[in-house]
Amino acid sequence: MKNKIISKVQLSDSIFKIEVEAPLIARSRKPGNFVMVRVGENGERIPLTIADANRDKGTITMVVQKMGVSSAKLCELNSGDCITDLVGPLGKPTKIEKVGTVLACCGGVGVAPMLPIIEAHQKVGNRVITILAARTKELVILEEEVRKFSDEVVIMTDDGSYGNKGLVTAGMEQVIARESIHECVTIGPAIMMKFCAETTRKYDIHTVASLNSIMVDGTGMCGACRVSVAGKTRFTCIDGPEFDAHQVDFDEILTRLKGYQDKEKLGNKLQEVK
């Protein structure tokens, strides 16, 4: 049996951490890579970033929020069940260089794909400050793991129920005011990444965003995932998923994410909150 789920942990009301057997992907994946997943013979192919991998056990971990049909189908599976199709690793890996201090800004389930990135940054000797932003306390997930790979963690909630009250950008401004930041990484809802990029643009801090486009194949075959970067059309799945956030046309992304919203089949909506 392939792609067997070996553990499933509920992180919040609608967010699950799923560890699945995938020895080859566990061996070849790098930070920033994602996989395409399909559940059931009528299932849709959806992209999910790899949150963690264990080479010895031969497993990878994904964090999924129940949103549309496809993410719900995945979240309904339990330990011992198998995922119909799982392919990867896909996408270009994150460029990790020793730069100094890295500011990692994550929102919602975006924390999960951020984990391997901050781990890698710490490994090469960068100082990592992570901002964990969520609507409310219940949605702050994976805090313990984040602390493991960060020199400092700033928690922001919209309603102030945990950490500081305010948006991710407020946390960013505070950190930037106090010390020099050499690189910024942002992963979360497109609207959040847009504002992160606007914030760092003011200070001319190089910023990388991991984009969450709608995908079909994930291998460069269809162009569903196309985005405009520096005025040129690029495919998120093979040219990305990470791009220079200051060059990305986020308004176009926000429009494109709504492309299938009038459809009954809303599987891809998951991506909006990645």
Residue 238 as a binder of another protein (CB under 8 A): the answer is yes
Determine if 31 is a binding residue for another protein (CB under 8 A): no
- Which of 50, 215, 227, 273 binds ligand FES (CB under 6 A)? It is 215
Q: Which listed option, ligand FES, another protein, none, makes contact with residue 180 (CB within 5 to 8 Å by class)?
A: none
**Could you say which of 50, 90, 102, 140 contacts another protein (CB under 8 A)?**
90
31, 32, 47, 89: residue in contact with another protein (rule CB under 8 A): 89
Strand order in the sheet with 45-49: 45-49, 34-38, 85-90
The interface region with ligand FES, picked from 80-88, 142-150, 167-175, 235-243 by CB under 6 A, is: 235-243
The yes or no reply on residue 220 touching ligand FES (CB under 6 A) is: yes
- CA 158 to each of CA 11, 30, 135, 268: distance values in angstroms, whole numbers, following the listed order: 19, 32, 5, 25
- Enter the tokens of residue 127: 């100082």
Do residues 271 and 257 touch, judged by C-beta distance below 8 A?
Answer: yes
Pick from 85, 158, 173, 217: which binds ligand FES (CB under 6 A)? 217
| 212 token code pair | 């969450």
Give the whole-angstrom CA distance, residue 207 versus residue 242.
10
Helix (H) or strand (E) holding 24: helix 23-28
Q: Which is nearer to ligand FES, 160 or 220 (CB)?
A: 220
Joined together, the tokens standing for residue 266 give: 């809303």
Binding of another protein at residue 70 (CB under 8 A)? yes
Distance CA 255, CA 140 (A): 27
Contacts of 232 (CB under 8 A, 6+ apart): none
Q: Which of residues 1-30 bind another protein (CB under 8 A)?
A: 24-25, 27-28
Backbone angles phi, psi at 150, to 5 degrees: -120, 145
Give CA–CA dist 195/9, Å, rounded. 31
Q: What is the rounded distance in angstroms from the CA atom of residue 24 to the CA atom of residue 215?
A: 22
The nearest distance, CB 128 to another protein, in angstroms, is 27
Told to check if 211 binds another protein by CB under 8 A, we report no
| 221 near ligand FES (CB under 6 A) | yes
Residue 237 interacting partner from ligand FES, another protein, none (CB closer than 5 to 8 Å by kind): ligand FES
Interaction of residue 54 with another protein, rule CB under 8 A: no
Q: Between 43 and 166, name the residue whose CB sits nearer to ligand FES.
A: 43
Q: Are 170 and 89 in contact (CB under 8 A)?
A: no
Contacts to another protein by CB under 8 A: 24-25, 27-28, 38, 40, 42-45, 69-70, 73, 84-90, 216-217, 219-224, 226-228, 233, 238, 252, 255-256, 258-260, 263-268
Contacts to ligand FES by CB under 6 A: 215-218, 220-225, 235-237
